[in-house]
């Protein structure tokens, strides 16, 4: 069965510093990987995805993520954090080669950007 | 293009009652998934409907049920409500059927329905 792990419940970063939010996954086939962001009292907003091709994918608001097949990781990164990046971030995986194809989410990582 | 619409936004119910939540997907999307979000458990997958058929189901009791109509709109029902059912219920729609071949495999979320059981 597919699964996603976000090892950090919370990440604190000073404004202007680079940020990384970690994600590892487990699927039986080739994964589709996603990052979503959730602001207070809102639904989830799609940030970026990896389907195939270049391991570094770029998304909204200056975020990017690197797919590493050998480490089964898909960490979210941004070169310079903004206070407005403070939110809850979810990593998700979809295993389309599995009969049980569905999108599974990690538990989320709360990102605090300190002014 | 209109996004995913969930109604109502907020609900307060009493233990033992039942509740129905509604979700209208993005036009053209045939897959609708439901998730329960709580602070302790994160996003838990409830079920997914595609072309009016339940295609996937999570590990929730039978009190949680759903359906999808021919226009792809979906409803979720929870019967005999318990205090622990208090949560944000999120609906997501996606273009893809099984196998995700459209090149747009991601899901798009509504703003959720906040259910409080007292």
**pLDDT of amino acid B97:** 65
* Residue B101 reports pLDDT greater than 70: no
* pLDDT tens column, B28-64: 998 999 999 998 788 999 999 988 999 889 999 999 9
Residue A51: which of B105, B108, B110 has the nearest Cβ?
B105
Task: Compute the 3-state secondary structure of chain B and give helix, strand, coil in percent, each to the nearest 5.
Answer: 5, 50, 45
**pLDDT of amino acid B55:** 87
For residue A44, list chain B residues with Cβ-Cβ distance below 8 A: 43, 90, 92, 109
**pLDDT of amino acid B104:** 76
Beta strands in B8-100 (DSSP E): 10-13, 19-24, 31-38, 42-50, 53-57, 64-68, 74-78, 87-94
Measured CA distances, B18 to A4, B78, B85 (Å): 32, 6, 11
* pLDDT tens column, A27-61: 888 889 999 999 987 889 999 999 888 999 999 99
- pLDDT category at A95 given cuts 50, 70, 90 is confident
Q: Which residue, A97, A76, A49, A37, is CA-closest to B105?
A: A49
CA dist., res. B32 & res. B51, Å (int): 9
Measured CA distances, B42 to A104, B38, B92 (Å): 11, 5, 15
Q: Which residue, B86, B71, B6, B47, is CA-closest to A102?
A: B47
For residue A108, list chain B residues with Cβ-Cβ distance below 8 A: 42-43
Name the strands in the sheet holding B64-68, side by side, starting at the edge strand that comes first in the sequence. Answer: B5-7, B19-24, B74-78, B64-68
- The answer to whether the CB of A97 falls within 8 A of the CB of A2 is no
Percent of chain B residues topping a pLDDT of 90: 75
**pLDDT of amino acid B105:** 81
- pLDDT category at B68 given cuts 50, 70, 90 is very high
> Up-side HSE of residue A62: CA atoms within 13 Å toward CB?
11
A49 with B106: Cβ contact below 8 A: yes
Minimum mean pLDDT among A9-13, B26-30, B96-100: which range?
Answer: B96-100
**Cα dihedral B99, B101, B102, B103 sign:** positive
Query: Residue B94 contacts by C-beta under 8 Å, 6 or more apart in sequence?
Result: A103, B29, B31, B33, B104, B105, B106, B107, B108
* Residue B76 reports pLDDT greater than 90: yes
Q: CA angle, corner B59, sides to B98 and A2, nearest 5? A: 50
* Residue B99 reports pLDDT greater than 70: no
B109 with A45: Cβ contact below 8 A: yes
* Residue A88 reports pLDDT greater than 80: yes
- pLDDT category at A1 given cuts 50, 70, 90 is confident
- The answer to whether the CB of B23 falls within 8 A of the CB of B111 is no
For residue B45, list chain A residues with Cβ-Cβ distance below 8 A: 102-105
Measured CA distances, A20 to A7, A91, A107, A112, B37 (Å): 12, 12, 16, 12, 24
CA dist., res. A57 & res. A20, Å (int): 14
Nearest CA in chain B to A42: B111
């Amino acid at each position: 069965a597919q699964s996603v792990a976000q090892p950090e419940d919370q990440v604190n970063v000073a404004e202007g510093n680079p940020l990384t939010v970690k994600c590892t996954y487990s699927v039986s086939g080739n994964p589709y990987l996603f990052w979503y962001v959730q602001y207070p009292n809102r639904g989830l907003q799609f940030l970026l995805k990896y389907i195939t091709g270049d391991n570094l994918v770029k998304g909204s608001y200056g975020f990017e993520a690197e797919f590493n097949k050998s480490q089964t990781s898909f960490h979210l990164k941004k070169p310079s954090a903004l206070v407005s990046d403070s939110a809850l971030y979810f990593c998700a995986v979809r295993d389309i080669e599995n009969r049980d194809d569905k999108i599974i989410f990690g538990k989320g990582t709360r990102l605090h950007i300190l002014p | 293009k209109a996004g995913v619409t969930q109604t109502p936004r907020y609900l307060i119910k009493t233990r033992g009652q039942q509740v129905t939540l509604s979700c209208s997907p993005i036009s053209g999307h045939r897959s609708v998934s439901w998730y329960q979000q709580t602070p302790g458990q994160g996003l838990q997958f409830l079920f997914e409907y595609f072309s009016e058929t339940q295609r996937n189901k999570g590990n929730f009791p039978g009190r949680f049920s759903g359906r999808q109509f021919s226009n792809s709109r979906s409803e979720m029902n929870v019967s005999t409500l318990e205090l622990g059912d208090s949560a944000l219920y999120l609906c997501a729609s996606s273009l893809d059927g099984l196998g995700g071949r459209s090149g747009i495999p991601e899901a798009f979320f509504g703003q959720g329905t906040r259910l409080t059981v007292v």
